[in-house]
Structure 1
Amino acid sequence: MKTVAMLLFPDFLLLDMAGPLEVFSIANRYLEPADHYRILTLGTESGPLRASNGVLLQADLTLDQAGDAYDLLLVPGGPGAYHECPATLLPWLRSAAPRARRFGSICTGAFILGHAGLLDGHRVTTHWHYTERLIKAFPKAQVETDRIYLQDGRLITSGGVTAGIDLALAVVAQDHGKQVAVDVAKVLLVVMKRQGGQAQFSPMVAAVAQRETPVTRVQMQVLEHPDHAFTIESMAALAGMSPRHFARLFVKEVQMTPMAFLQGARIDRARQLLESTDLPLKTVAFRAGFGSVRHMRALFSEKLGLNPTQYRQQFN
């Protein structure tokens, strides 16, 4: 029997906890009793803990009652993970994680692992909205921004919220074979392997900075008119600079090249049209500035992991 332990703390995200644990619970229906998962919740304090949605939940054990030799030790995300970690959690986690067969996080639970020093030198992921913040907070970690879940040795991390279900299905497949995991996925009405990664949910370009600069003026022009035939030279002219100086300054301010920003803006415009209209793909490609459906399809497949038709089917 394998023990799965989930750490709970004030302001955790309930779905981060419930989704993965439901996977292991349903897996028990397909396993012999000796192979069942034993599910435990471990609380940072005695008494009910309030999740971020207001639900109160009583953990099975407090940390001072808990053991530390678990087959899988998981940390959920939530405001309580990325705002302020409970002081008692970090030293316990530093001691328990090395003794666990596997340990990891769901969504922003990665921040707690980071504060415990458990991400350094590892490839990890988190919710797309928080990847930049994770990169800045823990520069010794190798943060991958487009993964649904990611395993690096004994450490396994996942993207946002429901990606914890994907993580748990992967663990079940490792422990008991793919067919058991497929059976569980069918019960939950989810797929074993999603098409594409987190990029299909996140914008390709970040919001433009509030302060007005020559670079931000060009960004706004690109976002408002992605169908225009922009070049480095034409963007530099809008900024009143030489192409070389403009390109260098753009990268410094935006952390991407002008042409990468243009490409991202066009993908975002196409996605907006695919989500909100039934326009033909040829019209979408034209209005987004791709010039052809073939070009749009190639970039969607490269950047999002699915083609425009598949994207529309998922989000329209």
Structure 2
Amino acid sequence: MDREPGLKKATAALPTDAPLIDVLFVVLPDSLLLDLAGPAEAFRLANQALQRRRRPAAFRLRYAGPEAQVQSSVGLTLAGIEPLPERLSAPTWVVLLGRPGEVAQVVRRQRPWLAARDWLGRVLPQHLEAADTPHRLLTVCVGALLAADAGLLGTRRCTTHHELLDDLVALAPQAQVLANRLWVEDGALLSSAGITAGIDLALHCIAQHCGDALAAHVAQVMVAHGRRGTQDPQRSPLLAFRDHLHPALHRVQESVCERPGEPWSAEALSAIAHVTPRQLTRLFRQHTGLTPRDYVEHVRVALAQQALRSGAKTGQAADMAGFRSDRQWRRARQRRAASTS
């Protein structure tokens, strides 16, 4: 499900001249507030992390819908909603949200739903077909049914909340509706099961656009541990060993992921954690089962393997991952193999 991020000398990073992504939340009456606020916070925190690294923000959050003011699922009034745009002038990720109620009471029964469906069918198809399109359609929970009602699913793979799978099949009989999935990606369509799975989907999109290290940072700030995805054959190496809440270790791991080529001595790593080298080793063993050196080596080996799969030559892959030579990489691979055998 995940696509490998591009590698440079260190980990994948957003180019400084990358265009700002419009994340356009389509807000209807009774929109589930967590489906909106969870992903929106993830994108906001990504911008915050980028700016703290003296890099430009990557996302512009927008909220549009048929009505300028609506009441959310929990009774909170949402105002200042802009009209649905007639065209997508900037790279845009359209996010369709969940809503409470039985499907028979929601789908095609209310004017705002019909207005959003007509807008989607009129504006989005031309933007989602091209292989290199910068636009995306993200759905959370019932949002997949709205996309289906607008005729946007076609034969794509998709998912939704487990209680709505049969309804999605009925609305989009040609689509490949997958059960037991937190989220599914098929080209420009990304669908999620709903509620907290919308956060997982947002973290995946952040990782694709800004790099795994930044997505891991956002997940840690949100106390989400890391991206989940039941289709992933394996977790990203930059997210492995991050299922803990120790802030000092997260600081060390983020630094290693962002700059794997640094000569990471025990002293340098412990300085980031503000503990002694002995204390850092004890913490690493307690929370990850590795030593700090083991973790650095794990990241470098995994990044080199990613580079090889992306078409890099052996020497280039070793250099990208931070190894000083092919020989150093070979020895690291041998140690990794011995530790897992």
Question: Deviation digits for residues 120-159 of structure 1, max 9, x if unmatched?
Answer: 2110000111112211232111100111111100000001
* Counterpart selection for 1:101 from 131, 135, 139: 135
In structure 2, the partner of 1:38 is: 60
In structure 1, the partner of 2:84 is: 63
Question: Is the aligned partner of 1:21 residue 2:40?
Answer: yes
TM-score, normalised with respect to structure 2:
0.54
Q: Distance in 1 between matches of 2:218 and 2:121?
A: 32
- Measured at CA, do residues 77 and 165 of structure 1 come closer, stay the same or move farther in structure 2, by a change above 3 Å? same
In structure 2, the partner of 1:146 is: 180
Q: Distance in 1 between matches of 2:121 and 2:185?
A: 19
In structure 2, the partner of 1:115 is: 149
- Measured at CA, do residues 114 and 43 of structure 1 come closer, stay the same or move farther in structure 2, by a change above 3 Å? same
In structure 2, the partner of 1:79 is: 100
CA offset at residue 90 of structure 1?
A: 1.4
Q: Counterpart of 1:179 in 2: which secondary structure?
A: helix
Q: Distance in 1 between matches of 2:102 and 2:50?
A: 33
CA offset at residue 30 of structure 1?
A: 1.5
TM-score, normalised with respect to structure 1:
0.58
Uncovered stretches (5+) of structure 2, i.e. residues with no partner: 1-19, 128-133, 232-341
Q: Which has the higher contact order (CA 8 A, sep 6+)?
A: 2
* Counterpart selection for 1:126 from 129, 138, 160: 160
Question: Is the aligned partner of 1:189 residue 2:211?
Answer: no
Asked if the contact 1:42–1:66 (Cα under 8 Å) also holds between the matched residues in 2, the reply is no
Question: Deviation digits for residues 211-236 of structure 1, max 9, x if unmatched?
Answer: xxxxxxxxxxxxxxxxxxxxxxxxxx
- Measured at CA, do residues 56 and 167 of structure 1 come closer, stay the same or move farther in structure 2, by a change above 3 Å? same
Uncovered stretches (5+) of structure 1, i.e. residues with no partner: 198-316
Q: Distance in 1 between matches of 2:145 and 2:153?
A: 9
Q: Which amino acid aligns with 2:170?
A: K
Q: Distance in 2 between matches of 1:22 and 1:50?
A: 20
Q: Distance in 2 between matches of 1:14 and 1:41?
A: 13
CA offset at residue 191 of structure 1?
A: 2.4
- Measured at CA, do residues 158 and 94 of structure 1 come closer, stay the same or move farther in structure 2, by a change above 3 Å? same
CA offset at residue 24 of structure 1?
A: 0.1
CA offset at residue 29 of structure 1?
A: 1.3
- Measured at CA, do residues 191 and 84 of structure 1 come closer, stay the same or move farther in structure 2, by a change above 3 Å? same
Q: Distance in 2 between matches of 1:80 and 1:195?
A: 27
Q: Any residues of structure 2 matched to 1:163-174 within 5 Å, and which?
A: 163-174=197-208
Asked if the contact 1:81–1:109 (Cα under 8 Å) also holds between the matched residues in 2, the reply is no
% identical equivalent positions: 34
Structure that is richer in helix per residue = 1
Q: Distance in 1 between matches of 2:135 and 2:228?
A: 26
CA offset at residue 80 of structure 1?
A: 7.2
Q: Distance in 2 between matches of 1:10 and 1:78?
A: 8
* Counterpart selection for 1:91 from 118, 135, 140: 118
Q: Distance in 2 between matches of 1:176 and 1:11?
A: 32
Asked if the contact 2:65–2:116 (Cα under 8 Å) also holds between the matched residues in 1, the reply is no
Q: In angstroms, what is the RMSD of aligned CA positions? A: 2.2
Question: Deviation digits for residues 80-122 of structure 1, max 9, x if unmatched?
Answer: 7941342211121123323361112011110100000011211
- Measured at CA, do residues 195 and 7 of structure 1 come closer, stay the same or move farther in structure 2, by a change above 3 Å? closer
Question: Deviation digits for residues 25-60 of structure 1, max 9, x if unmatched?
Answer: 0001111453431000002112x2111221110144
Number of paired residues? 196
Q: Distance in 2 between matches of 1:64 and 1:177?
A: 29
